[in-house]
A and B are shown apart, each in its own frame.
Chain A
Amino acid sequence: MGVFMVLIDTSVLNVALPSIAQEFKASASDVEWILNAYTITLVVLLIPFGRIGDMVRRDLLYCLGMSIFVLGSYLCAQSWNVIVFILFRVIQAVGGAIISGNAVAMLAELFPPGKRGMAMGVQSILIATGFSIGPVIGGWITTHLSWHWVFYINIPIGIISILLGLTLLPALGEGVKEPIDFVGVILLAIGLGFLTLGLIKGQEWGWNSEKTVASFLIAFPYLLAFVVRELTYAYPILDFSLFKIRNFTTCIIALFFMFMGLSLSMFLLPFFLQGIKGLTAEEAGYWVLPISILNTVVAPIAGRLSDRINPKITMCAGPIIFSTALYLLSHLKIDVSFWELAPILAMLGTGMGLVMAPAMNVMITAIPPQKAGMASGTIRTFNTLAQAMGVAFGGILFTSRMNDLIPNYGNQLPSPMQIKVLGILAMKGFGAPLVLIVEAFMRSFRHVFISAIPLTLTGFLIILLFLRGEEHLRIVRKAGSALIVA
C-alpha cells in the first residue's frame, strides 16, 4: 500500500501541476523543481534507508517513513508559496525513500522463498497500476475538488497503513547494529544527485551544454569514490558483494534495460495522446489503462510461476512480447482508435508483468536476508536511474529526429499547449506549421519506439544467457523443505 501510494503520488501530481503552478504563480523552472527535488531526493536516499532498514526494526522504520510521507503530504497541501512547496516535497521524498527502499525487503522477510513470487507479482501490479491510473485519479481530483486533495488523499491512506503496520506487521529486521557510513552516504548523494540532475535536465539544457557536462563531470568521480569507499569500508551502505550473486546482478541489469526501454518509449505516449490526439490528462489515463489491467492479471501469475517453473521462461517471454508491442507502436497511425491501441498496450503490460514479478522474486531470493534492505534500495535506485536514462535517451532520439525534419527545431518536446497554439494558427488559415509538426512528431515518435526495441532485446539476451533459473528453483525448493521440516 505504501509503495502504491508513493508511486501514485508522482503520477497524480503531474496532472495537478498546472493548477499548482497557477495558484503559486510559479514559473516553468519552479514547476520543474517541484518534480526534480522529489526525484533526486528519492534516488539519493533509497540505498541509505535500505541499509538502515537492515539494521533497525524495518516495520517501525516503514511506519516512520509512512508518517514522514503523510506529514510531507499534509505540509504540501498547506504550502503558501512555491519554495515552501518544494521544501515539503523533499520531506515527502524522504518518507517515500524509506518506504520504497524497504518495501521489497519487507516482502522478502514476510514471505519465504516459494511464496515470494506471488507477493512480488502483487507489488508489480501496484507499481504498474500506480503509474497508469495516477493520471485518471489526478484528473478527477483536480477537476472535481482541488489540487490540495491530491495530497490530502494520502493522509487517511497513510494513517490506515501506519495503524495496520503497527498492529499487523511482525517485528522485522533489527539485524546487527553497525555504524552508518555517512561518508558513503554523502558521496553517493553527490554522485547520484548530479547524475540524476544531468539526466533529467540534459534535455532542457542541451546534452553538450556546460551545465550538463559539469553535472556528469562531478557525478562520476564521486560515484567512483563511493564505490571505492564501499569496497574499503567495513560497514558499507551498499555491499558490492551483492553483485557477485549472479542471479541478482543478471536481474538488476536486465530490469535496468527493460525499465530504460519502457520509459524511453512510454514517456512520449502522453504527448501523443494529449498533444496530437487532443485528449485530456484524465482521458489519456483511461487510454493507457490496458497496461495496468494486463499487468495486474499477468504479474501475480508470472510471480507464482517463477517459484514453480524455471523463471527464465517467463522472463524471456516478457521482453519478446514487449518488443513486439514496441514494433507495433512504431507503426501507429495518427487516427488510431482506443480499440486499436488497447491490444498493443495490453501486450506492453503483459511483457512487463512477465518480467518484473519473477525478476524481483529471483533477486530477493538470491540475496542473504540480512541484506534485503540494502538490496531493496539498490533495486529501486537502479530502476529509477533506468527510468531517468530512458527518458533522457528518448528525448535525445526524439529531438534529433525532429531537428532532422524541422531545421532549428531546438531541444524542446512539443507540448499540448504548443499544438493548441498551432491549431489556432491553423484555424486562422496558417495551417502549415501544424501539419509540419504533427507529421514530424509522428515520424519521430515511431523512430523512438523502434530505437527502444534493442534495449528490451538486450534485457532478453542478458536473461537468456546469464540467468540461472534452476538455481532459483533449487533455493525455493530448499526453503520449502526447510519450512515443511520446521
Chain B
Amino acid sequence: MNKLIMFSLVMVILVLSISSANASNEINFHVVIAGENELHPGDETVITLLIENEGTVSNFYLNESTAAALQLVTTAKDLRVQVEDDWVPIKVKSDNPVLIGDLPAGRVAKAVFKVKVDENAKLGEYRVPVKLKYTKVTYSNAGTGVIVTYSVDEVDTEYVTINITKRDYDFSVKSIDSNLKTNRKGIVNVVIQNTGLNKICDAVLILNTTPPLITDPKAMSAYLGDLSPGETAKAEFKVYVTEGALNQTYPATLILKFKTLGKRPMVLTKQIGLKVVKEDVFEIIAVESFITAPKIIPKQQQSAMQTIPMSSQPFMQIQQQSSTRSSSIQPITIPSKGFVKVTIKANENMNDVMAMLSFDNPLIQAENAPYLGHFEKGDVKQALFYVKATAPAGAYRACLILKYKNTLGDEVVSEKHYFEVLINSLEPLKIVKVETRNVGVGLKGDVIIDVKNKMSCPVSDITFFVISSESTITPVSSSYFINELEPGEIEQAKFRLSVSGDAVSGLHRLYLVERYDLGNAKDLVSVTEIPVFVESKMAYFEILSIQSNLYPDETGDVIVKIRNAGSLTVHNAVVKLELNPPLTIAGGSSLSSLIGQTQPGLYFIGTLKPGDTAVAKFKVDVDKDAGAGFYPVNIVIEYYDDEGYKHTSSPITVSVEVKEKPLITPLMATAIALAVIGLAIAGRFARERIKREKS
C-alpha cells in the first residue's frame, strides 16, 4: 500500500513534471554600459547600453514542425529599453524608452541615451535601473507541433552601474545676471565655479557674443587668476545690444582660458543665454513747433543786398549768398528761424544729456543741440531747438536722438524718435499799414509800418531789418527796434530808404526780416513783405548857367547858377563842385596831394523853394600846362529835406571853359591904367620941379 501510494505519488509527480515541461521557456537579459561608465557632474553626454538576450527554452520537442518556432520562443519581441532616471542624478535628455524591436536570444542590441548629469550630483557609484519591456512567446507541445502564445508587456529590470566622478579640469556657470536693453549697453555679471578636480591657473574668462549682442572690446574679458577646485569667481562684461534686437534671450559663449597644473594651456567653453529687454531710452511726451515759411527774393537784383548788422546765422547766409550773387544772378532765399520744443521723459538714468534734432530735408536745420544735464529715470524735461528753415511751408519729419553718458560712464547715443514738424505761412507780426514819406526817385525817404502782434503771447526784443531786392532802392537806416508787443498791440517801425535816380516810380516790394523773442525762445526770425510806393522825382536841380574866367596857371572863378526844379523845398543846400585835373579847388591842393584825393569845392546856398534859383561861386586853380578848352566838372547838391534828413543829388556834369590867357586882362588893364596915372603924376611933379629949378 505504501508502495502503491509511493508509486502513485511518483506518477503524479512525473505526470505533473511532464505536463509542466511542456511549457518552459525563459527570456533573460544582460545589460551593460558600453565603454567607461564614468560620468561628470554637469555633463551632457551619451551613454550606450548593450542589451543581450539570454533567452532559454526547455522541454521543447524539436522536430521538423517545431524547429521554426524554436527561435520564436527565445526572442524578446518588441523590446523597449527605458532608463529609469528618477532615483539617480542623471536625466535622460533623449528618447526614453528606446525601441529595439525583436531581440533574438544570444544577440546584443545597442540603446543610446543622451543624459545630463546633475551638476550637484553626489560623486559615487549609482545602479541605474534599466527597464526592459518586451513580448514573450510561450508555447505548449501539441502532437507534432507546438502551440504558441504571445505574452505582451513582459517587464524585466536590469541594473547598470555608473560612476559619477569629477573632471580633471572643468567649470560651471553658477549665475548670470544681466540688464541688457535694446540700443544701449548693459552689464552681464557671470559667476563661475571651478568644478574640476584640479586647480585652474591664470584663468581668463571671455564673453563671446554674436549680433545683436556686441561685446564692448574694453570689457569683454576678465582675469580671474587661480581657481582652486570648488572656488567661484565673478566676471563682469559690457555688452551693447543693437537697435532692433528682439525681446528674447540670445546665446553667448563663455570661454575660459587657463593653464593646467602642468602649465599646459587649455580652453573650456560654456554656452549661456543672455536675456534682452526691448525698451526705449526715452519717450517723447509732447512736441511744440513754431517755424514760419522763408522768403525767396526774385532774381534780377544784385547789389541791393546790404550787409545786415546782425550776428545771427540766418543772415550770414544772406550775406554769403549776396556776395556770390554778384558773380551769378540767382534767387535768394531768406531763411526763417523758429523753434521746436520737445518734452522728453527718461526711461533710465542718464548723465550729460545732449539732445540732437535733425531733419530728413536738408533745407531745415537745427541750429543748436541743447544740453539737458542729468536725467533720473522718469524725469521729464523740455528741449528747445532753434531751427533754420529754407524749405517751403509743409510738414517735415524730424528725428530726435539723445547723446548721453550712461551710468557706466559710456558715451551712448539713444535710439531715434521721429515726429512731425510743420513750417507754416504764419505772420506772427502782421504788417497792418505801410506809409511812405519822401520816398521818391532820387530821394531819401521814410517808410513807416504799423506792426501788430498776432500771437497769443507777448513778443519781445523785436528788431526789424528791411532788405531791398532792388539795386535802385537802398535802405539807409535799415533796422528798427521795438521792446515788446502785447498780443494785439500795434507799434510803428520806421526805416529810411535811398532811392536812386534810376529807380522807376511805382509800387516796389521790400522784405522785412523780423527778429524777436517768443517766450523763452530767443532770436526767432520771420520774413514778410512790404509794399512800398516810390513816387516820381520830387527834388532835382537844373544848372541854369555856368560862368568861368579860368586861365592857365591862374586862379579863376566858376560861378554856377542853380534852380530847384523839383517840387520839394530844400534846406541848407551846399553845392559841391568836383573837379578833375588840370582844375583844382583853390587852397585845397596841398592836402589833396598829401592824401591823394581831390577835395571838392563847397558853397552854401541855403534854402531853395521849388523854382528858386541860387548862385554858387568857387575859386579854381588851373594848372599851368592846361590847354584852352572845355573841361568837365561835376556838380552835386547836398541838402536837407523838411524833416531834416540829408540828401545828395545825382551828379550833374557840366563843362567850364579854360581860355587862352589874354595878354592883358581887365584887372591888369586897370592896374596898368592906375600905374600910368601914377607915373603921369610923378612926371608932372618932376616937370614942375624942373621948371621951378629953371625959374
Contacts and interface: CB of A to CB of B under 8 A. Distances in A.
Interface of A: 187, 190-191, 205-206, 208-211, 213-215, 217-218, 220-222, 224-225, 227-229, 231-233, 402, 406-410, 412, 414, 418, 421-422, 425, 430, 433, 436-437
Given A214-B670, A422-B594, A430-B595, A228 B685 contact: yes
Given A190-B674, A221-B677, 12 more contacts: A205-B555, A210-B665, A210-B667, A218-B678, A222-B678, A222-B681, A225-B679, A228-B685, A229-B682, A232-B688, A232-B692, A409-B593
B675 A218 contact: yes
Interface residues of B, number: 30
B544 interface: no
B628 interface: no
Contacts of B667: 210-211, 214
Q: Which 3 A-B pairs have the closest CB atoms?
A: A221-B678, A214-B671, A225-B682
Contact of A433 (B595, B671, B672, B688): B595
B624 to A, nearest CB: 10
Contact of B593 (A224, A410, A425): A410
B555 A418 contact: no
Contacts of A229: 681-682, 685
Among B590, B595, B670, B688, residue most surrounded by chain A Cβ atoms (within 10 Å)? B590
A232 B554 CA distance: 41
A295 B267 CA distance: 118
Interface in B649-695: 665, 667-668, 670-672, 674-679, 681-682, 685-686, 688-689, 692
Contact of B689 (A190, A209, A231, A406): A231
B589 interface: yes
Given A221-B678, A225-B679, A228-B686, A408 B593 contact: yes
Most buried by B among A210, A418, A421: A210
14 contacts: A190-B678, A209-B555, A215-B671, A217-B668, A217-B672, A218-B671, A218-B675, A224-B682, A225-B679, A232-B685, A406-B593, A409-B594, A410-B589, A418-B591
Contacts of A437: 594
B531 interface: no
B593 A221 contact: no
B606 to A, nearest CB: 12
A418 B671 contact: no
A378 B688 CA distance: 25
| Most chain A beta carbons < 10 A, residue from B555, B667, B682, B689 | B682
B378 interface: no
A225 B589 contact: no
Nearest to B688: A232
A407 B685 contact: no
Contacts of B665: 210
A421 B686 CA distance: 57
B587 interface: yes
A406 B590 CA distance: 9
A402 B670 CA distance: 34
Contacts of B688: 232
A196 to B, nearest CB: 16
A29 B553 CA distance: 21
Nearest to A211: B667
B590 A210 contact: no
Interface in B47-68: none
A218 B591 contact: no
Nearest to A227: B682
A209 B665 CA distance: 12
Contact of B589 (A208, A210, A409): A409
Given A214-B670, A436-B594, A225 B685 contact: yes
Nearest to A191: B678
Interface string B182-196: 000000000000000
Given A209-B554, A210-B668, A221 B682 contact: yes
A221 B670 contact: no
B491 to A, nearest CB: 39
A224 B553 CA distance: 31
Nearest to A223: B678
Nearest to A437: B594
A418 B685 contact: no
B85 to A, nearest CB: 101
Nearest to A214: B671
A418 B591 CA distance: 8
Contact of B671 (A217, A408, A425): A217
B593 A407 contact: yes
A231 B677 CA distance: 19
Interface string B429-451: 00000000000000000000000
Nearest to A434: B594
Given A209-B555, A210-B554, A210-B667, A217 B689 contact: no
A213 B667 CA distance: 10
Nearest to A208: B553
A422 B674 CA distance: 45
A408 B589 contact: yes
Contact of B594 (A205, A211, A406): A406
